[in-house]
């Protein structure tokens, strides 16, 4: 049988589920442990660099939560959803109604006739009904949203449903807008902290870049006690090997990578799941063209051409968004010792003095803030800065 008949098993993409999820057993176990809480004390912040597999892990947790009788409400957040408190409340109600539309609630209505003048009727907990609760509840946006969430829980609490997981990806885009007196992020934290304290079994799972957790703490200091941070790191060499080999075995394709090729891919990818999927897909296609007979691919491979395609598809779109001065700053950072680990404003200022147009400390601070907003840099807990895109230094040096 010709190899051409076999579909390429690797799936690089934004959040595409790989054919085999390597590693992440510890993170999965930690999440399942949180589902056993009788009173919800800990929510989840799932954080890591681009390409580390946050979205994939989040998606893999959903069936496990459903197996434990937890309902699952999820969405990818956007800037539009956090433009105001009301907009974000509508986002939550919309997402919740998708799950609760098939739930029938008992509603008390006034009727004329005998008795106390009231009776209960069945209503569907769809978007229209939840929105009606929201609009008819007096008070602030937080009061209205809590009323909706409590109404749903008043029913679920009488069933075998364990609770609801509210899982939001790309949560780092959320922010409060003090200049407009709008605090959607604070609203989210206040509402969930309040209803959880009252015994409502809703767990909040927020996934995003490393800038996410500092934003939560800045919005509400009690966030430090409200969340457990699960930080996704790079895959080990053994886990990377599994991510390379297992998809070929599961696809039952006769194509195989040589040990030399496998080790080269592991060294190039640096343990980042997205890079493994991307490079393996390209290498598979290259070897497919070399050998269409179904034999093992024994020729050595060169990843230079693959790296160029990775630069074009993954790195360059982010680089093109930078101004000329921001690109100059990036080049200077690359010359800082251990720039791929962390760097400080002082490191950048000192290195810039070797150039014709050095940067002042205040200028560097302003530009780093802009790069944080673009998702390229984040400030760690030690007061230093790191690149939010894996292997960004290697890309810049290749340029």
Q: What are phi and psi of 90, to 5 degrees?
A: -65, -35
Q: Round to whole Å and give the CA distance between 301 and 123.
A: 63
C-alpha–C-alpha distance, residues 248 and 50, integer Å: 25
- CB contact set of 10 (below 8 Å; sequence gap of 6+): 18, 19, 247, 277, 278, 280, 281, 284
CB neighbour list of residue 105: distance below 8 Å, 6 or more residues apart: 122, 123, 124, 125, 129, 151, 152, 155
Per-residue model confidence (pLDDT) at position 119? 65
Report helix, strand or coil for 357: coil
The pTM (predicted TM-score) of the whole model is 0.82
| Interval 288-313 mean pLDDT | 65
Smallest Cα–Cα separation from 19: which of 242, 333, 300?
242
Residue 295 has pLDDT above 50, yes or no: no
Structure tokens at 107: 């509603």
**Residue 301: predicted pLDDT:** 57
CB neighbours of 276 closer than 8 A, spacing ≥ 6? 235, 240, 243, 244, 265, 269
- Separation of alpha carbons 97 and 390, rounded Å: 37
> Is the pLDDT confidence value at 300 over 70?
no
Closest C-alpha among 216, 190, 193 to residue 203: 193
Over residues 232-286, the pLDDT tens digits come to 888 999 999 999 999 888 887 777 888 888 888 888 888 888 888 888 888 888 7
Q: Is the pLDDT of residue 327 over 80?
A: yes
Report pLDDT for 110: 59
pLDDT of 294 over the 50 cut: no
pLDDT at 135 over 70: yes
> 3 pLDDT exceeds 80?
no
d(CA 335, CA 331): 7
Q: Is the pLDDT of residue 50 over 90?
A: no
For residue 117, the model assigns a pLDDT of: 56
């Amino acid at each position: 049988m010709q190899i051409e008949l076999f579909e390429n098993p690797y799936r690089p993409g934004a959040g595409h589920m790989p054919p085999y999820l390597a590693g992440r057993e510890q993170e999965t176990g930690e999440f399942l442990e949180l589902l056993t809480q009788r009173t919800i004390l800990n929510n989840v912040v799932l954080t890591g660099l681009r390409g580390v597999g946050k979205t994939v892990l989040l998606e893999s947790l959903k069936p496990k939560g459903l197996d434990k009788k937890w309902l699952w409400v999820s969405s990818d957040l956007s800037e539009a959803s956090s433009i105001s408190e009301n907009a974000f409340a509508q986002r939550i109600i919309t997402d919740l109604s998708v799950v609760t539309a098939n739930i029938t609630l008992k509603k008390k209505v006034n009727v004329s006739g005998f008795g106390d003048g009231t009776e209960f009727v069945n209503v569907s907990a769809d978007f229209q009904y939840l929105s009606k609760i929201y609009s008819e509840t007096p008070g602030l946006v937080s009061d209205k949203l809590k009323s909706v969430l409590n109404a749903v829980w008043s029913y679920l609490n009488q069933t075998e449903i364990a609770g609801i997981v509210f899982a939001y990806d790309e949560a780092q885009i959320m922010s409060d807008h003090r200049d407009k007196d709008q605090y959607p992020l604070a609203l989210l934290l206040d509402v969930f902290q309040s209803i959880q304290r009252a015994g409502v079994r809703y767990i909040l799972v927020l996934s995003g870049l490393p800038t996410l957790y500092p934003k939560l703490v800045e919005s509400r200091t009690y966030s430090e006690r409200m969340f457990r941070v699960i930080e996704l790191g790079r895959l080990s060499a053994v886990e990377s090997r599994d991510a390379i080999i297992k998809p070929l075995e599961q696809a039952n394709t006769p194509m195989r990578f040589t040990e030399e090729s496998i080790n080269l891919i592991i060294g190039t990818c640096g343990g980042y799941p997205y890079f493994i999927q991307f490079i393996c897909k390209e290498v598979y296609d290259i070897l497919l063209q070399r050998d269409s007979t179904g034999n093992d691919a024994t020729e050595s491979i060169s990843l230079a051409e693959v790296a160029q395609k990775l630069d074009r598809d993954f790195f360059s779109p982010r680089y093109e968004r930078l101004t000329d001065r921001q690109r100059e700053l990036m080049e200077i950072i690359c010359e800082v010792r251990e720039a791929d680990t962390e760097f400080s404003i002082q490191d950048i200022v000192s290195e810039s003095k070797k150039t014709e147009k050095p940067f002042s400390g205040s200028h560097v601070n302003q530009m780093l803030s802009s790069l944080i907003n673009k998702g390229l840099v984040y400030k760690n807990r030690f007061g230093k800065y790191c690149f939010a895109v894996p292997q960004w230094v290697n890309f810049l040096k290749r340029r």
